[in-house]
Structure 1
Amino acid sequence: MDSVKKNPSSSSATEKLTKILRNREYVKRSTERKKAYYEHLESENKKLKIIIANADLIHKQLLNVHLQLTPEQNQFLINLKNDTFKQETELTKQFTQIQSTLSTRLVGEALRQTGDDTYINNYMSEMHISMGNLRAMEEIMQKADGLRAITLDKIHNRFIKKQFAMALLAISAYLNRITTLSYMWISRPKS
């Protein structure tokens, strides 16, 4: 009977070794799955970039065919796009800076609350400054709305009515395609 009994330390060591080997195999398979998934995502990302590039190209060719732009009108659109982009970038920069300042002030003030008269005076001063920042943010939003209106007005004045209407339809179709691509990407099957 003694020969039938196994050595307890040998059995325990064998079980540990088996468990370690199973864990290594699991980690290896898991790593391979993650690598395959990452490669799949990279592939899908490349496909989407190609689709978007093609959509941009088609959009420009829709635009040029349907609008029948003259070279001067085409150059006008390029210049308008560049000018508008610069202005939008500047407005976004200003808005972000004010928003950051406002957040920092409000969080900083909340951390300094003491309850005495000094706090109340500081609070009123900070509130006044914060209200000024909010007014500045509102002015930036109004400037952005004005920029959109001015841009559309410039296009309207430069093109005949049919071209302007076709441009608005082309822009709408382009935005719908981009939205559809976004929804397709979000709702794609997760493997």
Structure 2
Amino acid sequence: MADASPMTESSSDADTEEKNLRFHNSQIQILASDGSDKSRDQKTLRRLAQNREAARKSRLRKKAYVQQLESSRMKLTQLEQELQRARQQGIFISSSGDQAQSTGGNGALAFDVEYARWLEEHNRRINELRGAVNSHAGDGELRIIVEGILVHYEDIFRIKGEAAKTDVFHILSGMWKTPAERCFLWLGGFRSSELLKLLISKLEPLTEQQVLAINNLQQTSQEAEDALSQGMDSLQQSLADTLAGSLGPSSSSGNVANYMGQMAMAMGKLGTLEGFIRQADNLRQQTLQQMHRILTTRQSARALLAISDYFSRLRALSSLWLARPRE
């Protein structure tokens, strides 16, 4: 019994020491595990923070983009409203909205904007027609495109008529066209008879009936153009005589009254200029319609392409002339 006690005590101490060692090791493992978890947590927190920052910047960029789109939409709406007012009232308001210019100048500027848009749309339609012709599209498809272009021509005649009410001299001068086009200008546009001459050689082969009809149309157009030209000459002579009658000293009250009366007469005669432009455009419109009735669908398509190419070359000639080297 006495010998057994020391052995038991020694065994108990060894067990205790082993337990303490295991506990110590477990604590080390726990601490190591805590350190690893903390490291992982810090990485996760950093990654989450980076994701939040990236999301915040993405929201800011999206918000700025939406605001930019909204601003552009509002500006476009404003421009469309201003242009609509210009069409209705014959005035043009600047995009900044700061101030309006005089009615005549604004009317001319509004027409120039309208004409530029019309020409852009016209070129798009002509390119569509050219593609259809080159791809040998059917007559049904060609007819739709051709009739659409003829209707589009009616738009420019209507726009010119409205612009003439505001600034008839701007339409007559042709300042909305290129210099080479102005060289051939007649009463604010092209001469129908001259255009028909150009087309005859481009539309061969033509039947005898078609040749006869086109020649008659050309002669009729020439006669109408001559009548309008004579009317313009008479108007210019009458205006010159009226203005000459108001010349002289204006010191007396009688001369002042005579001057005012003569100027009132001149103003009344100028009012007929709008009618001349309207008649000239009616002649151009009727010529295009009659040409379409005489020709087949494919011939009408070729005719419209030839007319467009002619005026495109005039515009190109103007650009070359303005860019020519000067000594």
TM-score normalised according to structure 2 size? 0.34
Give the C-alpha shift of residue 187 in structure 1: 8.9
Give the C-alpha shift of residue 88 in structure 1: 0.5
Give the C-alpha shift of residue 107 in structure 1: 4.3
Give the C-alpha shift of residue 105 in structure 1: 2.5
Output the CA distance in 2 between the equivalents of 1:174 and 1:126. Answer: 44
Task: Show the counterpart of 1:78.
Answer: 215
Output the CA distance in 1 between the equivalents of 2:198 and 2:252. Answer: 66
Give the C-alpha shift of residue 161 in structure 1: 3.0
Q: Which amino acid aligns with 2:235?
A: I
2:200 is aligned with 1:63: no
Over 3 Å counting, the alpha-carbon distance change for 1:60 and 1:148 in structure 2 is: closer
Superposed CA deviations along residues 141-183 of structure 1, whole A, max 9, x for unmatched, are 2111111111111112333332212112123334555676788
Give the structure with the larger helix fraction.
1
Matches within 5 A, 1:78-97: 78-97=215-234
Instruction: Report SS of the residue matched to 1:63.
Output: coil
Output the CA distance in 1 between the equivalents of 2:312 and 2:239. Answer: 35
CA root-mean-square deviation: 3.0
Task: Answer 1 or 2: higher relative contact order, Cα 8 Å, separation at least 6.
Answer: 1
Kindly name which structure, 1 or 2, has the bigger radius of gyration based on alpha carbons.
2
Of residues 248, 252, 260 in structure 2, which corresponds to 1:112?
Answer: 248
Of residues 159, 165, 174 in structure 1, which corresponds to 2:295?
Answer: 159
Output the CA distance in 2 between the equivalents of 1:58 and 1:123. Answer: 48
Of residues 254, 273, 283 in structure 2, which corresponds to 1:147?
Answer: 283
Give the C-alpha shift of residue 63 in structure 1: 2.0
Q: Which amino acid aligns with 1:160?
A: T
Superposed CA deviations along residues 20-69 of structure 1, whole A, max 9, x for unmatched, are xxxxxxxxxxxxxxxxxxxxxxxxxxxxxxxxxxxxx99644321xxx42
Q: Which amino acid aligns with 1:127?
A: M
Output the CA distance in 2 between the equivalents of 1:71 and 1:169. Answer: 23
Q: Which amino acid aligns with 1:132?
A: G
Superposed CA deviations along residues 5-27 of structure 1, whole A, max 9, x for unmatched, are xxxxxxxxxxxxxxxxxxxxxxx
Instruction: Report SS of the residue matched to 1:114.
Output: coil
Instruction: Report SS of the residue matched to 2:206.
Output: coil
Q: Which consecutive residues of structure 1, in runs of 5 or more, have no partner in the other structure?
A: 1-56
Task: Show the counterpart of 2:259.
Answer: 123
Give the C-alpha shift of residue 79 in structure 1: 0.8
Q: Count residues in correspondence.
A: 131
